[in-house]
Amino acid sequence: MDASGQSETPRGDFLAAAALDTAGGAFSEAYGRWRALRFHGAAEEKTAGLEHVLQCVWYDHLFPEEGLRLDDGRPLRVLSPGWWNHGEGPDFKNAQLEIAGRLRTGDVEIHLQHAGWAAHGHHLDSRYDHVLLHVVFERTPPRQPPCTSAGRSLPTLLLADYVDASLERLAETVVTDAYPYGVAAAQGACAALAVWRDTAALEHFLNLAGDWRILYKARALRERMDQLGEAQAVHELLLAACGYGPFKQQFRAVARHLPYDRVVQLAHTNPLLLEAAMLQIAGLLPEELPEGNAGAAHHARLIALRREHLGGLRPLPLAWRRTGVRPNNYPERRLAGAARFLARTARDGLIETLEGVWRQDLSPIARRRVFEALFPDRTGFWAEHCTWTGKSLMRPMAPLGADRIRGIIGNVFVPAALARARRVRDRLREEQVFAFFAALPRESENRIMRVMLPRIADGLERLKLTFRMQQGLLQMHDDWCEPNPSCRNCALLAHLAARSPEAVPDECGQI
């Protein structure tokens, strides 16, 4: 402990040990002593670190595959540990377990001790209602079984009975940074298939899956167009894409509460009025800011517009959980960026603006740049701030980043154009949109893409992914892998296994 009563960090110990011991040839021992200090900090840090080790043990099957029994005596086989969940909710999703000979699919929660279930409030949280198994590093059964919020009792696996070493010892051998993507457990059964050694065959398959995915999105959007009208359907899809993963549903709710016809009216009155309305509906326009705040002038303009034009507009009861969200992607920035885009396209209307870009005789790259130019640049309050009260950014950044813009072009503009082309049976436009789609560059990897790359094949560094192929990865995940992480009786696997190592697409597009 230092003079303040806080636990010392190991960083200084490591550097000192290196300086003292390298000359004596004992640097490896010094490093080992430093590494052992990783979990000697605060109790919470030690618990979190060891719990992560236990998650790695579960994910990588670092325990006997045979002879497992639950605390109630029933035999257990782990066919798949499930998908490692880095978001909120259970630690592993869609695990496949054989309990007393019966195949079950559900979630798994990991704790060091029995008490972790109730201590973390899982017994009150409906997100944990699909948990099938509680895994703990204990040797004695719980006094009372853990229960879900629906009152269902859960079995427990006492993993300490099946692992010889202590968790502290395991922490010295398990390279936790490699999980979950860089270990053998991340690979699916098809990763070893000879057919994937041919990059052309893999590219062809992912392109086919990507085409299917974009056509499915176009079909779903066309159905919404038939219900709501073209502009409103695209408006809702656009807002959902601006919200991306954590805020997709909240942004869609804003779009439904503020219909596109009203968006155009507000934008024609004053572009800032549209921003004020969207932030007000989202509950992200505070009544006042602390004195001397950098956003005071911009906030005052929005408040004045709200008072003059939006007196009866009430916020929706939306939750904005920001855990794990980068400040650049905070909802107020994203909504402000969406408002500016909608205001810039309001003169001709969203549909006509996009249609005008498609009508131009442009190469795919030039067309993409025209689309990108529709989005707001790095000016205004939200180019330099992530929240109303936070510090200024070190350099201005557009409220919608380049990667999010590419995602919107691929996931909104392309399906919208395909939906409209198919609605009027415009084959030439459909071919034009597909050529554009095929030429879109890749976007940043999301969690599913990081999972799927090692899962389906080795050596994918040779594969130059495009946006189209990334869409294929996502479709493959949704269709085959997400519901069946163990690859048990996978029809796709059986089909691919029948292909020869030399299988490549022929002129008819068959493998």
Q: What is the pLDDT of residues 348-358, one digit of tens each?
A: 999 999 999 99
Q: What is the pLDDT of residues 369-402, one digit of tens each?
A: 999 999 999 999 999 999 999 889 999 999 999 9
Q: Is the pLDDT of residue 30 over 90?
A: no
Q: Is the pLDDT of residue 33 over 60?
A: no
Cα separation, 498 vs 480, whole angstroms: 17
Over pLDDT 90: what percentage of the chain? Answer: 66
- pLDDT at residue 192, as a whole number: 79
Helix (H, G, I), strand (E, B), or coil: what is residue 102? strand
- pLDDT at residue 174, as a whole number: 87
How far is CA 243 from its chain centroid? 12
- Among 254, 251, 256, smallest CA distance to 227 is for 256
Q: What is the pLDDT of residues 474-491, one digit of tens each?
A: 999 999 999 899 988 888
Question: Distances from the Cα of 56 to the Cαs of 35, 120, 180, 258, in angstroms?
Answer: 18, 20, 8, 46
- pLDDT at residue 167, as a whole number: 83
Cα separation, 163 vs 112, whole angstroms: 13
> Contact 51/112 with Cβ under 8 angstroms?
yes
Question: Rounded to the nearest 5°, which phi and psi values hold at 77?
Answer: -125, 135
- Among 429, 405, 480, 500, smallest CA distance to 206 is for 480
- pLDDT at residue 491, as a whole number: 84
> Contact 454/93 with Cβ under 8 angstroms?
no
Give residue 190's pLDDT band: very low, low, confident or very high (50, 70, 90). Answer: confident
Question: How much is the pTM?
Answer: 0.80
- Tokens 């408002």, located at residue: 339
The pLDDT mean for the chain works out to 87
Give residue 304's pLDDT band: very low, low, confident or very high (50, 70, 90). Answer: very high
Q: Is the pLDDT of residue 414 over 70?
A: yes
Cα separation, 210 vs 465, whole angstroms: 11
Give residue 58's pLDDT band: very low, low, confident or very high (50, 70, 90). Answer: very high
Cα separation, 114 vs 156, whole angstroms: 9
Residues 134-151: b if buried by 16+ CB within 10 A, e if exposed: bbbbbeebbeebbbbeee
- pLDDT at residue 445, as a whole number: 80
Give residue 46's pLDDT band: very low, low, confident or very high (50, 70, 90). Answer: low
What element of type H or E holds 453? helix 447-456
- What number of other Cβ atoms are within 10 A of residue 257's Cβ? 17
Cα separation, 223 vs 419, whole angstroms: 9
Q: Please compute the mean of the pLDDT values over residues 169-176 and round it to a whole number.
A: 86
β-bridge mates for residue 105, sequence order: 96
Over pLDDT 70: what percentage of the chain? Answer: 86
Q: Is the pLDDT of residue 37 over 90?
A: no
- Range 497-506 contact pairs with CB under 8 angstroms and sequence separation of 24 or more: 497/193, 497/195, 499/193, 499/194, 499/195, 499/201, 500/194, 500/195, 501/194, 501/195, 501/197, 501/198, 502/198, 503/195, 503/198, 503/201, 504/198, 504/200, 504/201, 504/204, 505/200, 505/201, 505/204
Q: What is the pLDDT of residues 78-109, one digit of tens each?
A: 999 999 998 889 999 999 999 999 999 999 99
- pLDDT at residue 511, as a whole number: 39
Q: Please compute the mean of the pLDDT values over residues 420-427 and round it to a whole number.
A: 94
Q: What is the pLDDT of residues 433-473, one digit of tens each?
A: 999 999 999 988 888 888 888 888 765 566 788 999 999 99
Give residue 29's pLDDT band: very low, low, confident or very high (50, 70, 90). Answer: low
Where is average pLDDT lowest: 155-159, 184-188, 346-350, 429-433? Answer: 184-188
β-bridge mates for residue 102, sequence order: 99
Give the amino acid at 52: H
- pLDDT at residue 93, as a whole number: 95
